């Protein structure tokens, strides 16, 4: 856990707050702008870095506690960075009846994460979704743009391991 936290703190320090300036200029003085500003902030960074909340508060002339309160209240906002590979596992009806629970268990066991969590090395984030729109292929998951169909626990673990191995080859440590 400790190393994960350090890793995330490093990411936080690296963020370029100036990327927010056009958004803040657009919404300065506009009532009810906190939610759209946070949405755009998340679009830019993939999550809401802590430093961005202070910056937004300062620029919009709001209390940081208010911005932080909105950010943590709504489920659409993420306070932690998403892993390099975002796994969206479908638990819609068709996928559920075709064994999505077993796929979820296989992912959780292989990666040691639950819904909404990211692996300690920052590689994978798991998100459980409702219907992904391709029910005839159930059970289904998407990783990034790629759709993986008719999953079994074995094929799922293989997909995850192949991705990890591919990453190791691409970025030698
Ligand atoms: S229920 Fe899973 S894709 Fe529709």
**Tens digit of each residue's pLDDT, the chain (173 residues):** 334 444 444 444 578 999 999 999 999 888 889 999 999 999 999 889 999 999 999 999 999 999 999 999 998 898 888 889 999 999 999 999 999 999 999 999 999 999 988 999 989 999 999 999 999 999 999 998 899 999 999 999 999 999 999 887 775 55
Residue 9: strand, helix, or coil = helix
Residues framing ligand 1 (Cβ under 6 A): 90, 92-95, 131-135, 138, 140
Pick the CATH number of 85-170 from 3.40.50.920, 3.30.1360.70, 3.40.30.10, 2.60.120.280: 3.40.30.10
pTM: 0.68
Residue 171: strand, helix, or coil = coil
Q: Which helix (H) or strand (E) holds 38?
A: helix 34-45
Q: State the span(s) of the chain assigned CATH 3.40.30.10.
A: 85-170
Peptide bond connecting 80 to the previous residue in cis, omega within 30 degrees of 0? no
Which ligand 1 atom is the nearest neighbour of the CA of 138?
A: 2
Task: Kindly tell me the sign of the dihedral angle through the C-alpha atoms of 35, 41, 45, 49.
Answer: negative
Q: Give the length of the chain.
A: 173
Distance from the CA of 139 to the center of ligand 1, in angstroms?
Answer: 7
DSSP-derived letter for residue 81 is P
Cβ atoms of 15 and 81 within 8 Å: the answer is no
Q: Which residues contact 144 (CB under 8 A, 6 or more apart)?
A: 85, 86
Which ligand 1 atom is the nearest neighbour of the CA of 93?
A: 1
């Amino acid at each position: 856990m400790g190393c994960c936290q350090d890793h995330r703190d490093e990411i936080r320090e690296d963020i370029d707050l100036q990327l927010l300036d056009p958004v803040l200029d657009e919404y300065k003085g506009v009532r009810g702008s906190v939610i759209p500003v946070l949405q755009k902030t998340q679009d830019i960074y993939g999550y809401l870095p802590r430093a961005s909340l202070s910056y937004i508060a300062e620029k919009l002339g709001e209390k940081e506690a208010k911005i932080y309160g909105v950010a943590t209240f709504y489920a659409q906002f993420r306070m932690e960075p998403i892993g390099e590979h975002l796994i969206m596992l479908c638990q819609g009806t068709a996928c559920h009846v075709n064994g999505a629970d077993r796929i979820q268990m296989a992912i959780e066991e292989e990666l040691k994460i639950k819904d909404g969590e990211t692996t300690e090395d920052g590689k994978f984030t798991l998100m459980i979704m409702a219907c992904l729109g391709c029910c005839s292929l159930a059970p289904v998951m998407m990783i990034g743009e790629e759709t993986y169909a008719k999953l079994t626990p074995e094929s799922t673990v293989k997909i995850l391991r192949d991705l990890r191995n591919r990453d190791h080859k691409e970025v030698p440590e």
